[in-house]
Structure 1
Amino acid sequence: MSLAPSDWTLEARCQGSADSLFVEGAQQKKARQLCRGCAVRSHCLAEALDNRIEWGVWGGMTERERRHLLRVRTDVESWASLLLGQKSPDRS
């Protein structure tokens, strides 16, 4: 299934409950549960990583987990390409 960049949000399990994904501490564990089994989890994570979104749970990862991943995987130019097999947009 190939979705346009913003179309994936229409299939997200969290649709309509985004506020519950912007929590802190122990509440993040509960928020991450919502991501399990989501058909567009990889799209969501790629969006957060490619756009360096700093807040909330995206694709089942907290902001701390995403920061760590970005620090250790500096070789990745496009998370959408890596996670979804999508071509990265031409950057002039």
Structure 2
Amino acid sequence: MSIAAVTEEWTQEWASQARCSSQDPDALFVRGKAQHDAKAVCKACPVLAQCLAEALDNRTEFGVWGGMTERERRALLRRRPDITSWKTALRAGMASHPTH
């Protein structure tokens, strides 16, 4: 797959393509051990990076987004304070690591 094709896969209208879009949204806003089940929904999601970028760029505090809990996202933000746009960073990462 070319870099252009990977870049085209990034969509602004990602939410309707998410694996969780047809599930109960409350299932992603859980605490403790239940977060493991919520994260499992994200594993094969075609828009995982877009979802994660949205949560990181907006400093979303609650729920599982992009396969990460709020604690995991906070830790990532602390480790990488240099990234000002997660959308740009994750999109560039997708382009530099084509899947095919």
**How high is the TM-score relative to the length of structure 2?**
0.80
1:64 partner SS: helix
Q: Percent identity?
A: 53
Q: Is the 8 A contact 2:62 2:70 kept in 1?
A: yes
1:16 shift after superposition = 3.1
1:64 & 1:3 partners in 2: Cα distance? 26
- Count the aligned residue pairs: 83
Structure 2: 5+ residue stretches without partners? 1-8, 93-100
Structure-2 residue corresponding to 1:27: 34
Aligned residue runs from structure 1 range 2-81, under 5 A: 2-4=10-12, 7-17=13-23, 18-81=25-88
Q: Is the 8 A contact 2:10 2:50 kept in 1?
A: no
* CA root-mean-square deviation: 0.8
1:84 shift after superposition = 1.2
1:55 shift after superposition = 0.1
1:81 partner SS: helix
**How high is the TM-score relative to the length of structure 1?**
0.87
1:19 shift after superposition = 1.2
Residues 14-62 of structure 1: CA deviation (Å, up to 9, x unaligned): 0032210000000000000000010000000000000000000000000
2:22 partner SS: coil
Structure 1: 5+ residue stretches without partners? 86-92
Structure having the larger proportion of residues in helix? 2
Flag as ranges the 4+ runs of structure 1 deviating above 2 A: none
